[in-house]
Every structure is written in C-alpha cells, then in structure tokens.
Amino acid sequence: MPELDPERARKLRKRWVRLKEQPPMPPAVRKALTIGVIICVVVGIATVLLILSKMPNRDVELISQRDAYMTAFRDSGAEKKEVTFEVFRLEDEESPLVYYVYFYDNENYYKYIINAETGDIEKKEVLDGGGPRYQDKEGTTEDIEL
C-alpha cells in the first residue's frame, strides 16, 4: 500500500471530521432559536401590515377638481364675479388625499383643505386683504366657470 502524502492525509482527515454526525442541539438552544424565529416572523408581518395601513387607498373614487372648487367657493360666501382661484393642488402624500384650494376676491384671501374622497372641508382659513399671494407656488391662477 502506497504511503499518503502528509498534506493529502490532512485534507482527508478534515473532510472526514465534517462528515461525522453532530451531537444533538441542547433543548434550551432549540427553544431559544424557535422563539427567535417566531418573533422575527411576527414582527415582519406586523411591519408589513403597518406599512400597508399607512398607504392611501388608490382605488377610492375622488371628487372632481370642479367639485373641490365649488365646495370652497360656496363655503366662502364670496361674490361669483370677484373670485380668482390661485393655487389648486391634489396632495397625495397625505392620508386621506386632500385638495389645497387657495383663492381670493377684493376683500379676503381664502385657504381651504378639502378631503378629496368625501368632499368635506378639513380646514379653512380666511385672511383679510384680497389679491394674489402665492405667485411662485405650484398651481395656476385661473377663472373657473362657477
């Protein structure tokens, strides 16, 4: 029988050690690992549900831009001939989705936040002194058929 090279004999011993059956895991370690896995799964599921609950529902029927204008206009009590709408924006980063409607007449400047799903007024502010305020903001100054 030929003599084995010492390096080859070392590699074979190493391989043989890896193939040996490992001793059973202690029950306390097995229990700790099982509990750890269960906790990770529960926390993962809770995180996904939390994220999904914070996402706005994109399937909801939204009120139209004109309806948002009309809701703000009717609530303001402004004269039809004097109103100019300055900024109109649908904010979809918030939940629920809201429209920002800013407009003015000769006497007051109006700021409205309108729920885009229900058409309810979330917040309103009336400032003294009419005229444009936000020419550099996103939106347009426009006359809308009321």
Q: How many domains does the chain have?
A: 2
Show the tokens assigned to 95: 């939940």
In a shared domain, residues 73 and 117: yes
In a domain, 47, yes or no: yes
pTM of structure: 0.51
pLDDT at position 24 over 60? yes
Residues ≥6 apart with Cβ < 8 Å to 4: 12
In a shared domain, residues 111 and 71: yes
> Which of 30, 54, 78 is the C-terminal boundary of a domain?
54
pLDDT single digits (tens) 82-127: 777 777 777 777 667 888 888 888 788 888 888 888 888 888 888 8
In a shared domain, residues 72 and 114: yes
Q: How many other C-beta atoms can be found within 10 angstroms of the C-beta atom of residue 32?
A: 11
> What is the span of the domain harbouring residue 83?
65-128
User: Residue 90's domain is classified under what CATH number?
Assistant: 3.10.450
